[in-house]
Amino acid sequence: MDKNTIQQALAAVPHPVSGAGLLAAGAVAKVAYCDGYASVRLNGGGLNPAQRKAVEDAARAAVIRAAGAEPLRDVHVEVTDDAPDAPLPEPKRAAPTAAKAEPAPAGGPVNARHIIAVGAGKGGVGKSSIAVNLAVGLARKGHAVGLMDGDIYGPSLPTMLGLGAIEAAVRGRTIEPFLVHNVKAMTIGALVDPDKPLVWRGPMAHGAFKQLVEQTNWGELDYLVIDLPPGTGDVALTMAQLLRLSGAVVVCTPQKVAQDDAVRAAKMFQQLGIEVLGVVENMSWFVGDDGKEYDIFGRGGAQRMAQRLGVPFLGAVPITMALRENSDRGDPTANFTDPSPAGRRLAAHLAALVNNVENQAALASVRQGRTRPTLTIS
């Protein structure tokens, strides 16, 4: 199963008004597939509720049929109010041959120059720490930055940002983000009981993530950094469907086992049509009291992995006691301001990382602007 198979299946579903295939009718806004999760967004402008329901059901059935014996974990079909794209010429009989990429939503629910996801193959490698420090580092350079805790299964931002008992301000249907460390932050952790386990099924996870993105009053941003749940799965798929990203940053520790998971995460992003901006090696080495550097996990592993994947290496962050302590007490700004020699070294590593991400995001935008995704039918 892949995106093309889904597009071909949708091409055969008749549009309720024109009778042409959905693809030819310009009704297919977005298709994504990853790890058994299929997601389709249809332009339903001009359809009445019964027609919307019919086309939604028909699209879902077509995707399930196309999967054949392959197990699907979830098929999410959304019919929006958007008008169909300009109709494409009806395929001559042959199926689409060069569906390069699905059109990403123009504009989208967040007004940000760059949206950057931070992902990891598995938990505990420091994904949230990197997301927080990236956001704070970008804000310290004068950018307007939002930080969203998309890790809806295990939100760590309330602790890492020191949100403590601050209540989220809800105004009608919008939630005001928390302004901390000069970053506008939103986390599901601030909206639910912190001691309750967060168990989401696929469609619920989709809804929770979507609401956090859409209902937060982000305002105008230069960067929105999204901390994703570890691994591959439904939240990443929802994100790809909802937002036009500059790209994703993959966090990895140097060991081989961590790299294998990170490669899977990187491939997932690529499969979802999200550019991988690069790889960060966290916990690269440790500096002992004697000032000596210990390569506990084998420094350089993630850098080699980035080379193998053909993506940029964005930088390395050593295991630093202060970083862990600052995270635990919700003071990431201290990672940039500690005047001690060790503090200055950590700040330099973080600053280099922030600069590299900034540069790669800028380059990615240029590339994406130049090579607009197109759908070629022959």
Nearer to ligand ADP, 42 or 283 (CB): 283
Binding residue for ligand ADP (CB under 6 A) from 7, 129, 187, 360?
129
What is the closest distance, in whole angstroms, from the C-beta atom of residue 253 to ligand ADP in the complex? 9
Which burial class, exposed, middle or buried, applies to 8 when counting CB atoms under 10 A from its CB (0-12, 13-18, 19+)? Answer: middle
- Of 24-32, 119-127, 162-170, 214-222, which part binds ligand ADP (CB under 6 A)? 119-127
Q: Are strands 178-180 and 183-187 parallel, antiparallel or unpaired?
A: antiparallel
Binding residue for ligand ADP (CB under 6 A) from 126, 137, 189, 278?
126
Task: Please state the separation of Cα 244 from the chain's center in Å.
Answer: 9
Nearer to ligand ADP, 100 or 324 (CB): 324
Q: Please, are residues 304 and 316 in contact by the beta-carbon 8 Å criterion?
A: no
The count of residues interacting with ligand ADP (CB under 6 A) is 18
**And the tokens for 120?**
């990891």
Distance CA 332, CA 354 (A): 14
246 scored as a contact of ligand ADP (CB under 6 A): no
Binding residue for ligand ADP (CB under 6 A) from 323, 347, 354, 357?
323
123 scored as a contact of ligand ADP (CB under 6 A): yes
Instruction: Tally Cβ neighbours within 10 Å of residue 247.
Output: 23
Nearer to ligand ADP, 96 or 231 (CB): 231
**And the tokens for 290?**
């004697």
What is the closest distance, in whole angstroms, from the C-beta atom of residue 118 to ligand ADP in the complex? 9
127 scored as a contact of ligand ADP (CB under 6 A): yes
323 three-class SS: helix
Nearer to ligand ADP, 148 or 317 (CB): 317
Nearer to ligand ADP, 2 or 293 (CB): 293
128 scored as a contact of ligand ADP (CB under 6 A): yes
205 scored as a contact of ligand ADP (CB under 6 A): no
Q: Give the gyration radius of the chain's Cα atoms.
A: 22
What is the closest distance, in whole angstroms, from the C-beta atom of residue 78 to ligand ADP in the complex? 29
Give the footprint of ligand ADP on residues 264-283 (CB under 6 A): 282-283
237 scored as a contact of ligand ADP (CB under 6 A): no
CA atoms lying within 13 Å on the CB side of residue 253: 19
Distance CA 123, CA 119 (A): 10
- Of 19-27, 162-170, 313-321, 337-345, which part binds ligand ADP (CB under 6 A)? 313-321
- Of 49-57, 191-199, 318-326, 333-341, which part binds ligand ADP (CB under 6 A)? 318-326
Q: Which residues make Cβ contacts (< 8 Å) with residue 309, sequence separation at least 6? A: 263, 266, 276, 279
Cα-based distances in Å from 270 to 105, 116, 275, 276: 17, 14, 6, 7
Give the footprint of ligand ADP on residues 141-170 (CB under 6 A): 156
**And the tokens for 266?**
């990187």
The amino acid that residue 242 corresponds to is: L
Return the DSSP state at 188. Answer: G
Q: Are strands 145-149 and 183-187 parallel, antiparallel or unpaired?
A: parallel
Nearer to ligand ADP, 35 or 261 (CB): 261
Distance CA 43, CA 283 (A): 45
Nearest in space to 42 (alpha carbons), one of 24, 26, 19, 20: 26
- 189 has which bridge partners? none
What is the closest distance, in whole angstroms, from the C-beta atom of residue 140 to ligand ADP in the complex? 18
What is the closest distance, in whole angstroms, from the C-beta atom of residue 130 to ligand ADP in the complex? 7
Measured at the CA of 24, the angle between CA 23 and CA 25, to 5 degrees, comes to 90
Nearer to ligand ADP, 208 or 346 (CB): 346
213 scored as a contact of ligand ADP (CB under 6 A): no
Nearer to ligand ADP, 191 or 296 (CB): 296
* Positions in the binding site for ligand ADP (CB under 6 A): 120, 123-129, 156, 230, 282-283, 317, 319-320, 323-324, 327
